[in-house]
Amino acid sequence: MAPLVWLITGTSSGLGHSLVHAILARGDHCIATARSLLSISSLASAGASTLALDVTAPFPIIQATINAAISIHGHIDVLVNNAGYIVIGTVEGLDEEEWRGQFETNVFGAVKVAKAVLPHFRGRRSGTVAFVGSLSGWVGHEACGAYAGSKFALEGIAESLHRETSHLDIRTLLIEPGRFRTKLLSASNMHTHTRTPSSTIPDYATMLDAKMEGLANEDGAQLGDPEKLAEVVVDLVKGNGVAKGRRVPLRVALGTDCVDGIKEKCEETLRELGDWEGVGRSMGFGS
């Protein structure tokens, strides 16, 4: 099998960084992107091609960058939309700029990059578009409304894309990690709505303080291994390892906490559907 060509956003740290190394170790080609080329210089030294890409840039700039990426090897086989960050704050407490910033990167950035790559995939009748979702795409935790909202949105977008492009032999994959030991919760990567005492609504202060303390304690202590995660992602795309001989579904939950959280949410949803099924089915004319 010829080496695949991967394009990954957000590779300066975390899953993106680990994924580049896993891809290169398997003998595939990788085009690593980040806002700053300096932040991914070590990936260039490891053998990856590197390009500067800010997913919040206007679409023509993103399209030009994708065209440059295609020209490196003549084609792209796999896109991994990985760039993202987390905003912490209550639904009421976050301001409009914070809400928009979260969605500009996590949602609209992923959509723009996918839109830029899809014509290439359609022309080749081949390609994989992978989105990095989250347990937060299933469960909305307190003080994580903006982040959860962005990941819920990504779930629906990816599912729609899957239905729109599967007949073109373009595959969509939702990678749904739980808590992995990356820099997602680090102070440099996490935007928190705690600038001044006056920015915190008193009714939420105790809950928000507890949330911040919990996230700070969790940072660097997550049970998930990002290198194992990266290896499984490569397996899912290539059909090797854990995916050999198996049909890979649209969604794959990775991490014990994610598997447990999604199962609990599905079980709760099924119970509630059962409790209210009679009401739900009584809405038609003549019911």
Q: Give the model confidence (pLDDT) of 198-238 as tens digits.
A: 357 899 988 888 887 777 777 665 677 889 999 999 999 99
Residues designated as active site: 147
Whether residue 196 is predicted with pLDDT greater than 50 in this model: the reply is no
CATH assignment at residue 124 = 3.40.50.720
Q: Please check whether residue 59 lies inside any domain of the structure.
A: yes
Residue 32 placed within a domain: yes
The amino acid present at 64, given as its one-letter code, is A
**pLDDT-based confidence at residue 184 (cuts at 50, 70, 90):** low
Q: Residue 267: phi, psi to the nearest 5?
A: -65, -45
- Whether residue 91 is contained in a domain is answered as no
> Is residue 151 in a domain?
yes
212 located within any domain:
no
Residue 1, pLDDT > 90, answer no
Q: Quote the number of domains for the chain.
A: 1
Q: Domain range spanning residue 158?
A: 5-85+102-183+225-255+263-268
**How high is the pLDDT of residue 194?**
45
**Does residue 37 fall inside a structural domain?**
yes
Are the C-beta atoms of 83 and 182 separated by less than 8 Å?
no
Whether 207 is covered by a domain: the verdict is no
**Mean pLDDT for all residues in the chain:** 92
Q: Is residue 202 part of a domain?
A: no
